[in-house]
Amino acid sequence: MSTEKATTEKGNSFMHGVMRREHQEKTFNAIKGMKHQMQGLAGYVQNDFERMIEDGTTTKKEVNLAIYDMDESFDKVITELNKLREQVRDIMKYHGA
């Protein structure tokens, strides 16, 4: 192998390693950031529905209508978590290979 080719391959390998580490860091930060989305989901049950209905803050109809938004919010977070799981799996498989 020529010296020039070996130097190019070494440089490519270095850049590939840097890109892998950056991807791993972005994945790590995305997982940490999910806590905000999870807190948003908890918001659907943080209030006392019985009290809110009694004091007129909401109605049973409004609670029922909010179920659609809640489902969409949960689905979005679940989709993102599944995407992150696949990214983590790929990172671990790469290093475990």
pLDDT in tens, 33-92: 999 999 999 999 998 999 999 999 999 999 999 999 999 999 999 999 999 999 999 999
pLDDT in tens, 2-38: 555 545 555 567 777 788 899 999 999 999 999 999 9
User: Domain-by-domain residue ranges, the chain?
Assistant: 3-96
pTM: 0.73
Residue of 58, 36, 38, 37 whose CA lies nearest to 47:
58
Give the pLDDT score at 17.
79
Decide if 38 contacts 95 (C-beta within 8 A).
no
